[in-house]
Amino acid sequence: MTYNRITDSTTAERAVCAVVFCLFVFVFVYFYQAPTLAYAQHVLSKGATVYHELPSALLVTFVLYLLQRLTLAATKLYGASHAITYLPSMLVLAFMTSVHAEDVGGIGVSAWAYAIPFVLLLYFFIVKVVKLYLPASSSAFGFFSSRNLTASLSIMSVMMISVLCLTNGDDLFNRQVKAEMMLIDRDYAALAKEGCKGGKSFLPDYLAPSAFQLHVKMETDTTLTLLRAIALDKSGGIADSLFLQPVVGNTASMMQLENVKPLIVSRKFLMRRKSQDYRLCAMLVGRELDRFANRISSLCNLSSPAANDSLPRHFREALVLYQHLRSLPITQYQDSVLEADYDDMRDMLQGCANDAEREYAMWKNYRNTYWYYYHYASASR
């Protein structure tokens, strides 16, 4: 009876380890590292195959679990050291998800990957030592108080944390791959919200003035801005929504793809025909207000009372700003509501003690306007 209880406990402990491992791999691949694997597959297949998230996550989980079973059959570690049999699978998982993009359009691996042969040699040495000096049988304690289970789960926890630390954690890289995949799938609604969580910016409102500038610069780049702008253009809302989130770029990056580095799609794919609103927004991104005012005045009658209702939000903001920045503007445009908002903004800025307070006050209250972008979005210059 004692032997049967020990055998049952050992089987249950191995089952728990297997479930923990499979859940970790699936969640890690499906929810976190899908962009990394999608990029690696695209480069290695030269664009001939497409990464599908759910089937790929299931396949990776199955293959890595099969590798563990082979390792178990070779090492026959069943007791407190059973979790060590998952190390080769964890090592392969870390290697697969540690790839990153290179400037030449290929893939590279993290520097730690070159130590894999030495890690495997050390692993084989540890297996030999464990088999010589540690018992393979389970302890006679109950399942939930099993020392072997505690030891196995502790070892697996260390390996899982190590995988998280060794893999590609570049947020901008992962977001860009996702954005390009959305563009390929023509999921413009989802791509238009790139950079938001639940409709809100990634940035919390309580950031200190000294901290928020770094976060703004890290939140997006010229490529992500372009991808989101294309999605907004396709869905028809670019002139109302482009500056609701951080924008990085200039007219050349929006029109000629300057400093834009796509990972999956081709540059030709991104150069497809753009709407008139997109071209006007490109001028605003480049802060070319004179060129913008000249162009928009040739397209519509700005002195008409209907102009306030027909012009998109960012165009109206740009025109109000233009009227205040130029002593002899080439356009005559009036918007009483935005004029009042602009006056409130100037009063608020006059009450600030220094430039840092003014920029922070603008970010807190007007970061969703073109006014904030024009004056303070230094990351895009």
Q: How far is CA 197 from CA 203, 204, 234, 343, in A?
A: 10, 11, 22, 32
**Residue reference for tokens 């009042």:** 340
Cα angle, residue 112 at apex, residues 261 and 264 outer, rounded to 5°: 20
Give dist(CA 195, CA 56) in Å, integer. 25
> Which has more pLDDT, 280 or 361?
280
Are residues 263 and 177 in contact, defined by beta-carbon separation less than 8 angstroms?
A: yes
Q: Kindly state the average pLDDT of the residues 255-262.
A: 94
Nearest of 363, 308, 372 to residue 342 by alpha carbon:
372
pLDDT of residue 199: 43
Q: 308-337: per-residue pLDDT in tens?
A: 678 999 999 999 999 999 988 888 888 889
- Residues 6 or more apart whose Cβ sits within 8 Å of residue 365: 345, 348
Most confident of 28-37, 186-195, 358-367: 28-37
> Which has more pLDDT, 221 or 106?
221
pLDDT of residue 142: 47
Query: Can you state the angle between helices 313-325 and 276-285, rounded to 10 degrees?
Result: 40
Nearest of 167, 224, 227, 181 to residue 42 by alpha carbon:
181
Please state, rounded to an integer, the average pLDDT across all residues of the chain: 85
**For residue 46, which phi and psi values (nearest 5 degrees)?**
55, 40
pLDDT of residue 22: 97
**Residue reference for tokens 């599908």:** 52
Nearest of 286, 290, 370 to residue 330 by alpha carbon:
290
Where are the alpha helices (H) located in 136-250, listed in sequence order?
Answer: 147-166, 171-184, 188-192, 209-219, 222-235, 238-241
pLDDT of residue 363: 85
Number of H helices, E strands in the chain: 20, 4
Nearest of 112, 70, 111, 117 to residue 89 by alpha carbon:
70
With a cut of 80, say whether residue 213 has pLDDT above it: no
pLDDT of residue 312: 93
Question: Residue 196: beta bridge partners?
Answer: 201
Q: 169-212: per-residue pLDDT in tens?
A: 888 999 999 999 999 999 999 999 887 754 445 555 555 555 55
Give dist(CA 97, CA 82) in Å, integer. 25
Q: Kindly state the average pLDDT of the residues 211-229.
A: 76
**Could you tell me what percent of the chain has a pLDDT over 90?**
54
> Which has more pLDDT, 163 or 77?
163
